[in-house]
Amino acid sequence: MVLQLSEIENALKEVSKAEGNIYKIIGNVMIKKDKQEVEKELKEKKELLELKIKSLEKQEKTLRENLEKYHKEMKVSKGSAV
C-alpha cells in the first residue's frame, strides 16, 4: 500500500506539470481525460490509501500491545507454576 501511495503521489506531480492532453490507461485502452478530473481521482485514491494505512497501523499497534500483554501474562503464570 505504501508503494501504491508513492506511485499516486508521483502521478499527481506529473499530472500537475503536464500541459495539454492527459491520457489514462483503462485496461488495454488509453483514454483522453480532463486534467482536473484525473487530479481529483488521484487525490481521492490517495486519501483512501492514507486512511487504509492509518487503520492498518492502528490494528498493528493494538495487536502488538495484546501480544506483549499475553506474553507477560504467560511469563507470570509460568513463574507461579514453578
pLDDT attached to residue 10: 94
* Number of domains observed in the structure of the chain: 1
Residue 71 sits in which domain range?
2-81
Q: What global pTM score does this model have?
A: 0.74
What angle, 0 to 180 degrees and rounded to 10, lies between the N-to-C axes of helices 35-81 and 2-17? 160
| Bridge partner list, 72 | none
> Grid cell 500491545 — which residue?
65
57, exposed or middle or buried, with CB in 10 Å at 0-12, 13-18, 19+? exposed
DSSP state of 6: H
* pLDDT tens string 26-76: 999 999 999 999 999 999 999 999 999 999 999 999 999 999 999 999 988
Q: In CATH, what number is assigned to the domain containing residue 48?
A: 1.10.287.370
Residues with Cβ < 8 Å from 43, sequence gap 6 or more?
12
Confidence at 77, pLDDT banded by 50, 70, 90: confident
